[in-house]
Amino acid sequence: MEPLPRGPGRVAWSLTCLVLLFLRGWPGVGAQTTLGFELQQPQDKVSVKAGETLTLICTTSPLSPPGPVKWLKGWGSENQTIYEQTGSFPRVTRAVDGSDTVHTIHIRDVQPEDAGTYYCVKFRKSVSAAEEVLQRGNGTEVSVLAKPTHPLVSGPGHRVGPGELVPFTCTAGGFFPENISVKWFKNRTSISAQPPQITSGRTKSSYNMSSTVMMTLWEEDVRSQLICEVQHRTLTASLRGTYQLSQALRVSPTVHVDADPPSPVGVNKTVKFTCHVKRFYPGNVVVTWLENGTEMNVENTSRLVEMPQGLFQLNSVVEVKAMEEKNGSTFTCRVVHDAQDPVDRMATLRITAPDRKGMDDESSAVNGSLLLICIVVGVVCTVLALLVAAILYLIRLKQSKGKSSPSARLHEPEKSSEATTQESDPNNLTYADLNFEKEKKSIRRMVEMSQQSEYACIQTSRAPNGDDNLTYADLDMVHLSKAPKRPAPQPEETGSEYASVQIPRK
């Protein structure tokens, strides 16, 4: 039973020896174990989404010489200590706290800047107590997949009018990897654009992009939307940046002024001048009224109205009493739209004095009617004069012809002669021989004779039956030639004479 009493003593001794061996012999043993030391950094490449936690794996063999194991990012002068046992590394935690073999770390909330190559490094304390690299892992290349930021669309720095071509830019940044697609839409219509410009910082851990389109704006674009759509492998759904084109658009108003009632107006009438400000955008407009160039104190009666297309319109009304002294006054509507140059539209108030107007009207009416009467009278007079002249002329004509062809002759009964041409002359009748060219045949003549006066009686053949239809020739019209000098139109006997007829008028 010897080994029993010695047993505990030997065990204790050997344990002590081991410990002593370990403690004393470490440097010597370290040199030996360096050869057997192993460090494993199995991850070649790791990609992690930004914001997530990165795990970097590193294991070593259990027996290792004194000296720390650290995580370095980069190598050479660029290196950066990510983790070591001492010190504060807020984002980094060890997977197994205090382990000699497991040196895996977690880095939470990874950022694009965290991209790079990470090395797990075993240092050993040299004789000079300085640390030197014992072994390093092959390195793990970490890429941080980063989503692009929400795309931002910016327009021109100032508003532009319809028809102008202006650039719009879409930017998104901080994404990794660099491949990204950008599409543009106006409402739902696709717009072609150049490929986006990609820029990156020195570390190439993330990229920024910028895409530009040129667009012409129109009035209708007040309600239009510009969309920049970005697609990236880190995104489950594309990101859309929007821009209301109304932000870039200025539609200047059309302005005109009208008056109700329109000029000229009667004295003391109320005239409403309305300034129509139409089709403008944006809605900030200031309307002022000037009377003869001086600003008027006008109640703000205008109300901004938004039309369906998104443009605005506004009417501003000013009421003016048309006092006589305001005759010829100008009323100017001054519109300042969106801090642009003012637009002036003017109307002039013209006043008619009602009494003067009436008088004028009356006198002119009178003048008119007088003139009319004069004209009518003149025309009538002229017509009458012409008529009289014509009649006189006709009479003259007849008279002058009567001397030749239409003649009236009175045949007195021959007192002395025995043979007469007039057989039907028993009652001492004198016949007027009236020769009318037109109705020679139809006219029969009978001249009745009294003692002192003679009547020329003409009986026409048209009314032969009625004795009452006997007509008396107006002998005024029958020129009875008394002139004896005239040669007889018909050769008569020398004894025949021309009667001188005296006709009493009724």
Of 111, 181, 329, 352, the one binding ligand NAG (CB under 6 A) is 352
Name the amino acid, one letter, at 176: F
Taking the complex as a whole, the smallest distance from the CB of residue 80 to ligand NAG amounts, in Å, to 8
| Residue 312 CB-density burial (10 A; 0-12 exposed, 13-18 middle, 19+ buried) | buried
Closer CB to ligand NAG, residue 268 or residue 330?
A: 268
Is residue 315 at the binding interface for ligand NAG, with CB under 6 A as the rule? no
- Residue whose CB is less far from ligand NAG, 132 or 344: 132
Residues 244, 302, 329, 459: which binds ligand NAG (CB under 6 A)?
Answer: 302
According to CB under 6 A, which one of 112, 148, 173, 196 is a site residue for ligand NAG? Answer: 173
**Pick from 258, 257, 269, 362: nearest CA to 324:** 269
Contact 102, 55 (CB under 8 A): no
Residue 210 binds to ligand NAG (criterion: CB under 6 A): no
Question: Judged by CB, which is closer to ligand NAG: 269, or 403?
Answer: 269
* For ligand NAG, the closer CB: 114 or 454: 114
Site for ligand NAG in 21-50 (CB under 6 A): 40, 42
Nearest approach, Cβ of residue 336 and ligand NAG (Å) = 11
* CA separation for the pair 300, 302 (Å, rounded): 6
Helix extents (H) in 275-414: 354-402
Residue 18, by phi and psi: left (phi above 0), alpha (psi -120 to 50) or beta? alpha
Q: Counting contacts by CB under 6 A, is residue 267 touching ligand NAG?
A: yes
**Token pair of 280 as six digits:** 């403008």
Q: Distance between CA atoms of 73 and 83, rounded to whole angstroms?
A: 9
**Closest separation in Å from C-beta 233 to ligand NAG:** 19
CB of 349 to ligand NAG, least distance (A): 9
Among residues 144, 180, 222, 314, the one that binds ligand NAG under rule CB under 6 A: 314
Q: Would you say 200 or 309 has its CB closer to ligand NAG?
A: 200
Cβ at position 174, least distance to ligand NAG in Å: 7
Q: Which of 93, 138, 422, 496 binds ligand NAG (CB under 6 A)?
A: 138
**If binding is defined by CB under 6 A, does position 476 make contact with ligand NAG?**
no
Out of 13, 22, 75, 472, point to the residue binding ligand NAG (CB under 6 A): 75
- The per-residue DSSP string of 155-191 comes to --SS-B-TT-EEEEEEEEEEEBSS--EEEEEETTEEE
Site for ligand NAG contains 324 (CB under 6 A): yes
Say which residue the tokens 């004479």 belong to. 497
Stretches 68-76, 248-256, 423-431, 461-469: which one binds ligand NAG (CB under 6 A)? Answer: 68-76
Region of 76-84, 92-100, 232-240, 497-505 interacting with ligand NAG (CB under 6 A): 76-84
Using the contact rule CB under 6 A, the part of the chain among 73-81, 289-297, 305-313, 494-502 near ligand NAG is: 73-81
CB of 216 to ligand NAG, least distance (A): 28
For 435, residues 6+ apart whose C-beta sits below 8 A from its C-beta are 405, 406, 407, 408
**Sole window of 97-105, 321-329, 486-494, 495-503 interacting with ligand NAG (rule: CB under 6 A):** 321-329
Which long-range CB contacts under 8 A does 445-450 form with residues at least 24 apart?
447/410, 447/411
Instruction: Tell me the two tokens of residue 66.
Output: 């004194």
Question: Is 268 among the residues that bind ligand NAG (CB under 6 A)?
Answer: yes
Q: What is the smallest separation between the CB atom of 171 and ligand NAG, expressed in angstroms?
A: 7
Tell me, what amino acid is at 113? E
Task: Answer yes or no whether residue 351 interacts with ligand NAG by CB under 6 A.
Answer: yes
Closest CA to 430 of 382, 383, 361, 498: 498
Q: What is the three-class DSSP state of 452?
A: coil
* Contact between 353 and ligand NAG per CB under 6 A: yes
Of 202, 182, 201, whose CA–CA distance to 192 is shortest?
A: 182
Cα dihedral 10→11→16→22 (10° resolution): 120
How far apart are the C-alpha atoms of 444 and 435, rounded to whole Å? 10
Residues lying near ligand NAG in the complex (CB under 6 A) are found at 40, 42, 72, 75-77, 79, 133, 138, 173, 199-201, 208, 267-268, 300, 302-304, 314, 324, 327-328, 350-353
